[in-house]
Amino acid sequence: MQERIHILWDTLSDFEARQTEQAATFLMQQLCALSGAWNATWAGAMRLDSSARNDPLQGWRVGAVQALLPVASAPEEQHFRDILKVWEKREIDPSFLLPMREVGTFRSYAFRRDLPAEWFTSAFYQRHYESVGIRDALFVAFPINEDSESHFGFYAREPFSEADGRRLVYAMRGIKWFHRRLMLSHGLLTASTPLTPTERRVLQLLLTEASEKEIGRNMEIAPSTAHQHVSSVFRKFGVRSRAGLMSVWLNPLRR
């Protein structure tokens, strides 16, 4: 099984920087097949206010989410975004406290393993999970720095076995470079604010040799509009040129 995961890592590294979202989809597909999960998500979390003493979530917010498959009756990632809306309102469900355990360290947490039996009779579980065929969920959290983390979640129709959990943890542990790339692609590390969907498309093209005119043609927007988006991406990353942007992507971040 380790050899299969090593091959997965090698294949993942073959994706170009501009193909980060496609690479995440590939990774989630492979790990679902490896663990018996039927769906998966990635979420980029940021701590916006580390001094929030009365906040049980310690100032953490989810800045971006990507789902492998849309949940029935909910377009794209909307089902998972609805859960995040409850998180943002600070209507605390016990499941929200799981990622706060040992925050800042590499860790995993799971519904069936870590939540009490009575939670599975709660209205929250029945509405957001049981109703769409999720009987268990296992998450792997990877800290990028003290104020940002990458979380992958896997959803199954039956409880995960200990062996499934070990495989997922092992697969996630060896790819810090990819966790970091995912965060960068959504503007969740050095960027001043998360990138908009349009800015993420522009970023993908900036990581190629496409000129601003070619970016405009590719996105079917005017050159002046493309320039505005490029300038916005540069500004959010705190750089003045494509060379500066590339240095952000190629140089590892330090705490």
Tokens of 213: 């005119």
pTM above 0.85, yes or no: no
Go through 73-88 and write b for each residue having 16 or more CB atoms within 10 A of its CB, e for each that does not.
eeeebebbeebeeebe
The C-alpha atoms of residue 80 and residue 233 are separated, in whole angstroms, by 26
What three-state secondary structure class fits 27?
helix
List of domains in the chain = 2-177 (3.30.450.80), 197-250 (1.10.10.10)
Residue of 77, 71, 45 whose CA lies nearest to 58 = 45
Instruction: Note down pLDDT in tens along the chain; length 255 residues.
Output: 889 999 999 999 999 888 999 999 999 999 999 999 999 999 999 887 666 668 888 888 888 899 999 887 777 778 888 898 888 888 899 999 999 999 999 999 999 999 999 999 999 999 999 999 999 999 999 999 888 899 999 999 999 999 999 999 999 999 999 999 899 888 887 656 778 889 888 988 988 888 999 999 999 999 899 999 999 988 888 888 888 887 777 675 543
What three-state secondary structure class fits 1?
coil
Q: Tell me the residue ranges of DSSP E strands in 69-129.
A: 107-110
Contacts of 93 (CB under 8 A, 6+ apart): 86, 122, 124
Q: What is the DSSP letter of 66?
A: E
Cα of 164 vs its chain's centroid, Å: 20
Tens-place pLDDT, residues 120-173: 999 999 999 999 999 999 999 999 988 889 999 999 999 999 999 999 999 999
Q: What pLDDT score was predicted for residue 50?
A: 61
Q: What pLDDT score was predicted for residue 254?
A: 43
